[in-house]
């Protein structure tokens, strides 16, 4: 099982969009994918077609109980024709109160999510983080095999990536198994000179770590707004191209086998 955690301390760069895009690739390939939403905004939860869930990831973070994720999984509302709907551990706004509470744990509350995932088995687990490097994101990183950094080709993106790399390094040094970086996804890539400039900057500063870009496309927003995988939008303008970009990133960073035959 591979656990990927999507991070950036900045909001609006596309963490949730890329999480949903990779889950859409897994959907189309009928992989057994679990998406864990640890952002109180719950955008991944609604993007996956789950509304007003009776339980949330907050239950897993409230205590240190191995395997607690097992009873917190809902099935995504994504269609079951032409794909396999992922499982979802939803987020609700109440999760916002958990972060200050975690800070009061005298022996540290960095690894509650990691403990909650013990014994859980899926082909792929995708964790969508809030826009900060606070304790929710730290829990996401302690639970991960790999961090996937998502950024846009905007001002000082490269400096933001550097900060995340430092955090990943510090977390890695505190674990028995290393935490590695799956790569940097440059999302919302436009055709402007400005976008090209910051994209080049990222590529010259972070080299081979930087993955092929995901372009800015209306179809991507439309898929999320309709709680559909991008792969289910058919021939809608830009949808096949966007789906192909997520497939490309997926193939470069995910190394799981199809579980029960397509």
Ligand X SMILES: Nc1ncnc2c1ncn2[C@@H]1O[C@H](COP(=O)(O)OP(=O)(O)O)[C@@H](O)[C@H]1O
DSSP state of 106: T
Please report how close the Cβ of residue 17 comes to ligand X at its closest, in angstroms: 3
Residue with Cβ nearer Mg ion (38 or 232): 38
Q: For residues 65 and 69, give the distance between their C-alpha atoms in angstroms, rounded to a whole number.
A: 9
Residue 63: CB minimum distance to ligand X, A: 27
Residue 220's binding partner out of Mg ion, ligand X, none, with CB under 5 to 8 Å set by partner kind? ligand X
Instruction: Pick one of ligand X, Mg ion, none as the site partner of residue 46 (Cβ within 5 to 8 A by kind).
Output: none
String of b and e for 7-26 (b: at least 16 CB within 10 Å)? Answer: bbbbeebbbbbbbbbbbbbb
Round to whole Å and give the CA distance between 86 and 129.
18
**What phi and psi, each to the nearest 5 degrees, are found at residue 7?**
-130, 150
Choose the contact partner of 187 out of Mg ion, ligand X, none; CB within 5 to 8 A by kind: ligand X
Which of Mg ion, ligand X, none binds 216 (CB below 5-8 Å, type-dependent)? ligand X
Does 17 bind Mg ion (CB under 5 A)? Our answer is no
For 26-90, give the DSSP string: HHHTT--EEEEE--TT-HHHHHTT--S-SS-THHHHSS--TTGGGGG-EE--S-SSSS-PPEEE-
By the rule CB under 5 A, 188 interacts with Mg ion: no
Measured from the CB atom, the residue of 12 and 93 that comes closer to ligand X is 12
Identity of the residue, 115 or 136, whose beta carbon is nearer to Mg ion in the bound complex:
136
Q: Does 122 bind Mg ion (CB under 5 A)?
A: no
**Contacting residues for 161 by C-beta, under 8 A, at least 6 apart:** 149, 151, 184, 202, 205, 206
Residue 15 interacts with Mg ion (CB under 5 A)? yes
Residue 33-72 contact track with Mg ion, rule CB under 5 A, x = bound: ----------x-----------------------------
Q: How far is the CB of 4 from ligand X (least distance, A)?
A: 15
Residues of the shown chain interacting with ligand X in the complex, contacts defined by CB under 6 A: 11-17, 43, 131, 187-188, 214, 216-217, 220-221, 224
Q: Please, what is the minimum distance in Å from the beta carbon of residue 15 to Mg ion? A: 5
With tokens 């707004």, the residue in question is 225
16 binds Mg ion (CB under 5 A): yes
Answer whether 23's CB lies under 8 Å from 86's CB.
yes
CA 157 – CA 35 distance, rounded (Å): 26
Nearer to ligand X, 115 or 138 (CB): 138
Classify strands 146-151 and 180-186 as parallel, antiparallel or unpaired.
parallel
Q: Which residues bind Mg ion (CB under 5 A)?
A: 15-16, 43
């Amino acid at each position: 099982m591979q656990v990927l955690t999507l991070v950036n301390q900045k909001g609006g760069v596309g963490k949730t969009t890329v999480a949903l895009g990779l889950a859409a690739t897994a959907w189309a390939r009928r992989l057994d994918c679990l998406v864990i939403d640890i952002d109180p905004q719950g955008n991944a939860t609604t993007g996956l077609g789950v509304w007003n869930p009776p339980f949330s990831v907050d239950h897993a973070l409230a205590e240190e109980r191995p395997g607690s994720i097992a009873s917190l999984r809902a099935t995504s509302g994504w269609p079951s024709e032409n794909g396999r709907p992922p499982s979802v551990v939803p987020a609700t706004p109440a999760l916002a109160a958990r972060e200050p509470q975690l800070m009061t744990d005298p022996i540290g509350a960095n690894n509650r999510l990691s403990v909650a995932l013990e014994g859980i088995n899926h082909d792929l687990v995708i964790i969508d983080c809030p826009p900060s490097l606070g304790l929710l994101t730290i829990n996401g990183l302690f639970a991960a095999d790999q961090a996937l950094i998502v950024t846009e080709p905007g001002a000082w993106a490269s400096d933001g990536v550097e900060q995340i790399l430092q955090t990943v390094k510090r977390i890695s040094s505190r674990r028995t198994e290393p935490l590695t970086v799956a790569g940097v996804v440059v999302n919302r890539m436009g055709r402007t000179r400005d976008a090209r400039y910051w994209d080049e900057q990222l590529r010259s500063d972070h080299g081979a770590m930087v993955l092929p870009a995901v372009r800015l496309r209306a179809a991507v927003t439309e898929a999320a707004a309709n709680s559909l995988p991008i792969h289910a939008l058919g021939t809608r303008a830009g949808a096949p191209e966007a789906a192909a970009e997520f497939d490309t990133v997926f193939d470069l960073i995910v190394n799981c086998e199809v579980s029960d035959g397509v």
